[in-house]
Amino acid sequence: MRRTALLVSAALLTSLLPLAVARAADDPPPAPVDRFEGEVPFANPPENGIFTWGSDTDDPPTLRLSPRDDAPEGDQVLAGSYDISGYGGFTHDFAFAEPAHDWSGHQGIRFWWEGQNNGRKVAFELKDGGANGEASELWTTSFTDDFSGWKQIEIPFTDFAYRTDYQPVGGIDHLLGLTETWGYGVTLPVGAPGRFAMDGVELYGRADQSLRANVTTDSAVYPVTEGRTATVRVTVATTGSAPIDEPVTVAYETAGGTASGADYVPLKGEFTFPAGTASGTTRTLQVATLKDRAAAETAETVPLKLTVTGAKAPAETPQVVIDAHGLPYLNSKLPVKTRVADLLSRMSLAEKTGQMTQAERGAVGTGADVTADDLGSLLSGGGSTPTPNTAEAWAKMIDSFQLRAQATRFQIPLIYGVDAVHGHNNLVGATVMPHNIGIGATRDPGLAQRTGAVTAAEVRATGIPWDFAPCLCVTRDERWGRSYESFGEDPALVESMETVIQGLQGARNGKDLHRNDKVLATAKHFVGDGGTAYGSSTTGTYTIDQGVTTVTRQQLEAIHLAPYKSAVDRGVGTVMPSYSSLDVVGDGLGPVKMHARADMINGVLKQRLGFDGFVISDWNGIDQIPGDYASDVRTSVNAGVDMVMAPYAYKDFHTALVQEVRAGRVSEKRIDDAVSRILTQKFRLGLFEKPYADTSGASGIGSAGHRAVAREAAAESQVLLKNSGGILPLKKSQKVYVAGSNADDIGNQSGGWTVTWQGASGDVTPGTTILEAMRGNSTRVTYSKDASEPLTGYDVGVVVVGETPYAEGVGDVGNGHDLELSAADRAAVDKVCAAMKCAVLIVSGRPQLIGDRLGEIDALVASWLPGTEGDGVADVLYGKRPFTGRLPVTWPKSEAQLPINVGDSSYDPQFPYGWGLTTLTKVPEGGAATLKALGAAARAAERAGADATGRALVTKARLIVQRKGITAAFAKPFAEADHLLLAGRYGEAVAKLAQAYGSA
């Protein structure tokens, strides 16, 4: 029997559904939203439809329209199943091309839900305001599945709270207006498989003022200099922006707080917004502060209590804060060391441990916990951005958090960090540089420094003073999903590219850090993350990332530790330990997580190398240390970690650390050392004097000048591996056929860590694709992604293939990835190269196995991940600049060869480390005799300290030698020559090249 036939009386309805509410006589009839009878399709934005989403490929639920005899409404329900580890759910977005829906006349929304009685919470959210459903505010609430069978869930609109973790800036107006509603979404429970069914989404009831009027203040915190007056703006606003139809009274009183009666003029009274007042009307209150006799004081608070009748009161009591003054640490003329000592001497244990705590900006909502927990730092994880994702919104967001820090006793500013690993890559419209693997291919330290300078300028212009970059990992296995984060496989190459630190920070002594175009840099991930063994990872489905690096002490020092010594010498401000474990052969410790290795962090980094900055953990990095949470906290802090990135567990960390100190398991001396290091960098950055964003450089974000640097980097990163018949560079007169998955995709050519953590294919950010850049050079370009268009009548083909974006262990080979081209890319190469002379460009974060097709390819280019400036790639393709890039890693013949690196005793690659043909330059003539003469000249240059001359001589010898064919006997000395060149041993480098020449 159909359930609709059973629901024949109000009494029966009430007995079956105790939460159902009868419709009042003056209520409007329910307004259907979704009946799930096929009227709403499964479709993605910008179309009207229902779509699923999740944190990874396994997390989106399955959905179907299912016929059900017991459907509460109609014949079908929306049903599905799920098994979510991160987050997942489904959304109905209304069509972007149509007007938004007006829900403001109703009391709330209701729907039928088939309960499983599992006691789990289900989140329900609304999309309100903004340009469309994907650029709107999110408002959320939840219900508990603690019942069996069908039940109608009613949710008044007043139950919805603003999703601050999604868009803390406020995006639109921070009000649930409901006049522009773009849809709704359901977030399903995590941690265990489940199923659900839903039906009959509709609006119910009539809105009234008690539900839709709100009183707000323009801020939660009002800092003011002692003796001056703070102005508080109080606003009445309504859902739907209609005038209020009943009076709203606001009573106000200054009371409580840390300020005394001698610090301010008490304020008490009330005012009324009369009926008919327009939504958005503002009244002002002024709180006058007084100068007292104290010459030096900490900050004092004056809460302004607001009691509202006829509307919702503000979520928080606004606080006027009388600024700290007269204390030595506030004197910018004193030495930093003196200021640190003075401030540290005044702080409580809770305040100190707060400085050691870093939270994710999405976890702190509007930021009240910044004040409550004395937080020292916030970060944006990959893809954690304000809405809209603009420079202005970033600055506004960070300023709002800094304002919260001003309500603390000592007004210690936050230090905000972000992973700007190839430009300000989280910001849409920023200049996106090539990833580090491409920068390593340039062999140009000066250019590396300029890319760092551009990144720093764009990051600081959005109010962010701290960059979690550069990665100084030495990548030793291309199966690693982080390979592209490395400058290369040779520590000498990594060291040579560390000029990026000066680009980010400026002078080695930190004197430039206060500038509005410099940021604090981070050397990561200390130490050995590039050496993890394949199959050693224990993190989820990762195969190599976060695994174990097993090395002798000599290998550790020579390969993995050397770049950190250089970074410390360059004055890098912070260091981040690796997730990976280090197993030093013979030390008897076995594999130990780096966050727990006191011998390496305290012993080597801080004591032996003399690092005077602070150590910041990786994201939840301490959680991977064996033991309970208290053990994780004391082990990591005692090992030398100064600040812990506890994105969502910041309260737990803060509480646990205080308890560990009070129990004597972490010494106060260790705490003082950590906090001193953190405060030192905050003073150097000038944050005490200028905590808020200096946006004067915002016009430079994504500017032509900045993009010119990225374009040059993209050009210099291109490595010409093969060029039979000299088909490159192309001529503008040639008719060119372009194909391949990565020819016209800005997301693919930018890679992971672009706008989101994992990156994405498509138009994720403004830029120029390789195809667009080629068309800018010639009108004789035809594009067919899959090479399905006719292939006759062309002079040359260019096939742009490679990888799609990924980041970290998600990209590990064996974790859904390999080093092979996709079937579509292989087909495109085969079709084009069979029909005409062809050049193949590989856009990827690591070498791809191409040996089986090398014979049919005339020219082969390793393009790496060039970023947003495809013009740089076209510059070398069309001969505006020469190909000068050289391989930063060995290019293998097969996956079975991995790991394969310069210096290996057995070395037979497809292309050796350091290989790179050139164009637009005549290759020098000569043979063994010429090489002998070049070697003598190189030794003389080395003795004289003439580095430029020495490098030029080695380059000349390399070009002569590269005309020979690559064999195992050739490749080994050839690759070793490039290492010797980077080490400044020019004579030996030429000798190795002569050895390669003789073996060919």
> Which positions are annotated as active-site residues?
618, 808
Residues 826 and 767: beta-carbon distance below 8 Å: no
Residues 410 and 676: beta-carbon distance below 8 Å: no
Residues 500 and 535: beta-carbon distance below 8 Å: no
Alpha-carbon span 493 to 558, nearest angstrom: 13
Classify the C-alpha dihedral 62-65-68-72 as positive or negative. Answer: positive
Classify the C-alpha dihedral 562-563-564-566 as positive or negative. Answer: positive
SS3 for 540-565, per residue? CCCCCCCCEEEECHHHHHHHHHHHHH
For 515, the token pair is 């500038």
Alpha-carbon span 642 to 507, nearest angstrom: 24
Measured from the Cβ of residue 670, the count of other Cβ atoms closer than 10 Å reads 17
Alpha-carbon span 377 to 379, nearest angstrom: 7
Measured from the Cβ of residue 369, the count of other Cβ atoms closer than 10 Å reads 19
Give the strand pairing for 548-551 and 581-584.
parallel
SS3 505: helix
Alpha-carbon span 910 to 896, nearest angstrom: 13
Which residues have CB under 8 Å from 814's CB, separation 6+?
Answer: 479, 534, 543, 544
SS3 637: helix
Cis omega (within 30 of 0) on the bond before 595? no
Q: 20: closest CA among 108, 123, 118?
A: 108
Beta bridge partners of 509: none
Classify the C-alpha dihedral 691-694-695-701 as positive or negative. Answer: negative
Q: 571: closest CA among 492, 526, 511?
A: 511
Measured from the Cβ of residue 281, the count of other Cβ atoms closer than 10 Å reads 15
Helix and strand element counts for the chain (H, E): 26, 37
Alpha-carbon span 811 to 828, nearest angstrom: 24
At residue 568, what is the residue type? Answer: V
Which residues have CB under 8 Å from 107's CB, separation 6+?
Answer: 27, 156, 157, 204, 205, 206, 207, 208, 211
Secondary structure element (H or E) that encloses residue 845, with its range? none
Classify the C-alpha dihedral 432-434-437-439 as positive or negative. Answer: negative
Residue corresponding to tokens 């729907």: 111
Alpha-carbon span 900 to 474, nearest angstrom: 13
Which residues have CB under 8 Å from 588's CB, separation 6+?
Answer: none
Question: From residue 881, how far is each of 729, 736, 743, 750, 775 by CA, in Å?
Answer: 9, 19, 20, 21, 17
Beta bridge partners of 398: none
Residues 389 and 427: beta-carbon distance below 8 Å: yes
Q: 148: closest CA among 122, 118, 116?
A: 116
At residue 573, what is the residue type? Answer: G
Give the strand pairing for 592-593 and 644-645.
unpaired
Which residues have CB under 8 Å from 547's CB, separation 6+?
Answer: 532, 533, 534, 535, 536, 537, 538, 580, 581
Distance of CA 466 to the CA centre of its chain: 13
Beta bridge partners of 720: 861, 917
